[in-house]
Amino acid sequence: MSIVISKAEKDISKNRTLVMYLLTGSLVILLMMVFGVLMLLAQGKMIDVDPGFFYEILTVHGTGMVGSAALAAAAVMWYFLSKYIQLSKGIFIANFIFFILGVVLVLTGIFVYDFAGGWTFLYPLPAISAGGWAVEGAVLYLFGMLLIGIGFLLLFLDVARAIIKEYGSLGGGLGWSIVFGREKGYGPPAAVVASTMVSIVNITALLAGATVLVMSLINMVIPSVKIDPLLAKNLTYAFGHIFANSIIYMGVIAVYEILSQYTNRPWKANRPFLIAWNCSTLFTIIIYPHHLLMDFAMPKWMIIMGQALSYANGLPVLVVTAYGALMIVYRSGIKWDIASSFIFLSMFGWVLGVIPAIVDATIVINHVMHNTKWVPGHFHMYMGLGATAMLFGFMYYLARVNGKGKENSVDAISFWVYVMFFMALCGSFLFSGKVSAPRRWAEHFPEWIQYDRMGAVFGIFVILAVVTFVTRFWNFSRSLNSKLEEKIGPGHHA
Ligand code: HEM
Ligand SMILES: [Cu+2]
């Protein structure tokens, strides 16, 4: 009896940390969506916002979305990976604490000291704002980012450690013996393969990010210490590109695990699957120069590599996953609830978003489209309909697993509102790009404004839908608290 309860307690307490991650992540996403609509209202001249404040909102929206989606996606990874290997709960909690501390500093830097240099904090802009913000603001922002990065770095180091312990090496986690034909059969569970990839690319990304953050901080304190701006830009985009991409590679673990549970069919890591993940591991790291196609001082081979391999980057994993998802669902008699619908949608959103991204990664097109709203148009598609769909799907799944999965028509309607209006929102961005509206401009010409206004309306509907998802999850988390108190008494939280 006591054994049964203590295991249950363990499960629930495990879920409590997870729930903190997901609740924080989804609440921040919701709040950032409100900021997103504010930007569109400002660009559409429906509200009057000081341009300086617009760029503060832009900074907080970009930073906050990627950070909170990564936090929630890390929870997805951690949850499923814990089925196969022993991860440190202490590190999992430490990452959360680093995250909260970092967020406080970042928010103070932005809203108290007016830092508005964008999530790219591109050297030397943070230090030289021509009076836009106090240097204290930039220091707080960069230091906050550094703390968030250290937390994630600890988490991925722990993931790598646990994978090496169980599978001998990171190559073991990526199924090299199968890839290189030394063995026949299947590799490690899909969740392990994906987590190995993510820990490799993100440890790389976070080290690059920490390097440029520390260098910039030193430069701000001792201005005579200068950095090569091109090096700084390379480090920044290596970090930004990889870290933002990793969200979907963590979220996709929910696709593998949830679809195989719902269909009662295993998702096996066969050789093509493993080869795809190995390719994406390498490509994700080396294609970031597609963010520097306009930088003529870059070595030409890096630019060409950035373009050529960008086509190949996400594609292998996307193909094996989308194909695998169709196959596993085909004639399986799967039950379509909100969780499985979100998971299936996420494949669709990912595929759809990659198409305009590939278009943009073509140098000739990039020279025209780059820095137009075409770019936010494509990444909102795979972030909003791909990555965050995986996260919301996982939140519904978690409630269901814990016996709190009572969904009703409000959830179903919200799901469809989310899909339709998010798609429309992305469409409005792509249209803005088509009429050459630049991205990241507070002031828009009259020709561009109609798309901003449409986008604002679509965004409001998206927010309403997300309020439903977050409220559901909130209620579930409260029921989890009372369940824990019943079992072990109040004031005795694990
Ligand atoms: C209601 C939903 C959303 C709305 C209305 C919205 C709106 C916006 C707007 C207006 C911009 C600035 C575009 C410009 O350059 O002029 C933007 C940028 C951005 N958004 Fe969103 N967004 C939403 C959801 C999301 C989601 C779900 C994510 C990611 C998880 C995201 C990530 C970003 C990023 C990374 C940027 C770029 C910031 C920069 O250029 O520095 N957004 N968004
Ligand atoms: Cu990129």
- Look up the CATH superfamily of 78-334: Cytochrome c oxidase-like, subunit I domain (1.20.210.10)
Mean pLDDT of 72-99: 96
Q: How much is the pLDDT for 333?
A: 86
CA distances from 421 to 255, 307, 336, 342, 485 (A): 23, 31, 21, 15, 40
| Whether residue 66 has its Cβ less than 6 Å from ligand 1 | yes
| Whether residue 453 has its Cβ less than 6 Å from ligand 1 | no
Domain-wise residue ranges, the chain: 1-49+361-494, 78-334
The answer to whether residues 402 and 475 touch, using CB atoms and an 8 Å cutoff, is: no
Q: How much is the pLDDT for 194?
A: 97
| Whether residue 383 has its Cβ less than 6 Å from ligand 1 | yes
**pLDDT 10s digits, 334-377:** 889 999 999 999 998 988 888 777 777 677 777 777 789 988 99
| Whether residue 36 has its Cβ less than 6 Å from ligand 1 | yes
Task: Specify the ligand 1 atom closest to the Cα of 244.
Answer: 35
Other Cβ atoms closer than 10 A to 153:
19
| Whether residue 245 has its Cβ less than 6 Å from ligand 1 | no
From 49, 56, 65, mutation site for ligand 1 pocket: most ligand atoms within 8 A of C-beta: 65
| Whether residue 62 has its Cβ less than 6 Å from ligand 1 | yes
Q: How much is the pLDDT for 10?
A: 59
Contacts of 255 (CB under 8 A, 6+ apart): 321, 325, 343, 346, 347, 390
Mean pLDDT of 413-428: 98
| Whether residue 40 has its Cβ less than 6 Å from ligand 1 | yes
| Whether residue 380 has its Cβ less than 6 Å from ligand 1 | yes
User: Percent of the chain having pLDDT more than 90?
Assistant: 73
| Nearest CA residue ID for atom 39, ligand 1 | 62
For residue 2, what pLDDT band results from cuts at 50, 70 and 90? very low
| Whether residue 427 has its Cβ less than 6 Å from ligand 1 | no
Q: How much is the pLDDT for 151?
A: 98
Q: How much is the pLDDT for 405?
A: 62
Give residue 177 CA to ligand 2 midpoint distance, Å.
30
Q: Residue 5 above 50 pLDDT? A: no
| Nearest CA residue ID for atom 40, ligand 1 | 440
From 61, 236, 423, mutation site for ligand 1 pocket: most ligand atoms within 8 A of C-beta: 61
Q: Which ligand is nearest to the CA of 310?
A: 2
Mean pLDDT of 449-461: 98
Task: Specify the ligand 1 atom closest to the Cα of 452.
Answer: 10
Q: How much is the pLDDT for 43?
A: 98
Locate 406 and state its tokens.
Answer: 């009572």
| Nearest CA residue ID for atom 2, ligand 1 | 33
For residue 3, what pLDDT band results from cuts at 50, 70 and 90? very low
Mean pLDDT of 18-39: 97
Q: How much is the pLDDT for 291?
A: 84
Mean pLDDT check: name the lowest of 24-28, 297-301, 448-452, 472-476.
297-301
Other Cβ atoms closer than 10 A to 124:
16
Mean pLDDT check: name the lowest of 266-280, 368-382, 386-400.
368-382
| Nearest CA residue ID for atom 21, ligand 1 | 36
Other Cβ atoms closer than 10 A to 264:
10
Mean pLDDT of 298-313: 80
Give residue 491 CA to ligand 1 midpoint distance, Å.
40
Q: Residue 264 above 60 pLDDT? A: yes
Give residue 124 CA to ligand 1 midpoint distance, Å.
24
Q: How much is the pLDDT for 4?
A: 39
Which residue, 264, 266, 214, is CA-closest to 236? Answer: 214
Cis check for the bond before 229: say yes or no (omega within 30 of 0). Answer: no
Task: Specify the ligand 1 atom closest to the Cα of 437.
Answer: 16
| Whether residue 265 has its Cβ less than 6 Å from ligand 1 | no
Q: Which ligand is nearest to the CA of 361?
A: 2
Q: Is the model more confident about 303 or about 146?
A: 146
Give residue 289 CA to ligand 2 midpoint distance, Å.
8
Mean pLDDT of 237-252: 96
Which residue, 277, 282, 294, 458, is CA-closest to 375? Answer: 294
Q: Can you tell me whether residue 1 is helix, strand or coil?
A: coil
User: Percent of the chain having pLDDT more than 70?
Assistant: 94
Q: Identify residue 71 by its one-letter amino acid code.
A: L
Give residue 362 CA to ligand 2 midpoint distance, Å.
12
| Nearest CA residue ID for atom 22, ligand 1 | 36
Give residue 429 CA to ligand 1 midpoint distance, Å.
10
Task: Specify the ligand 1 atom closest to the Cα of 432.
Answer: 16
Q: How much is the pLDDT for 156?
A: 98
Q: Mean pLDDT, the chain, as a whole number? A: 91
Q: Which ligand is nearest to the CA of 238?
A: 2
The answer to whether residues 405 and 399 touch, using CB atoms and an 8 Å cutoff, is: yes
Q: Which ligand is nearest to the CA of 284?
A: 2
| Whether residue 37 has its Cβ less than 6 Å from ligand 1 | yes
Q: Residue 449 above 90 pLDDT? A: yes
Give residue 253 CA to ligand 1 midpoint distance, Å.
24
DSSP H or E segment with residue 127: none
* Cα 290 to Cα 284: distance, rounded to the nearest angstrom: 11
Give residue 242 CA to ligand 1 midpoint distance, Å.
18
* Cα 108 to Cα 43: distance, rounded to the nearest angstrom: 25
**pLDDT 10s digits, 160-205:** 999 999 999 999 999 999 999 999 999 999 999 999 999 999 999 9
**pLDDT 10s digits, 210-233:** 999 999 999 999 999 999 999 999
Cα 410–chain centre separation: 26
| Whether residue 459 has its Cβ less than 6 Å from ligand 1 | yes
| Whether residue 438 has its Cβ less than 6 Å from ligand 1 | no
Give residue 441 CA to ligand 1 midpoint distance, Å.
13
Q: How much is the pLDDT for 487?
A: 62
The answer to whether residues 473 and 399 touch, using CB atoms and an 8 Å cutoff, is: yes
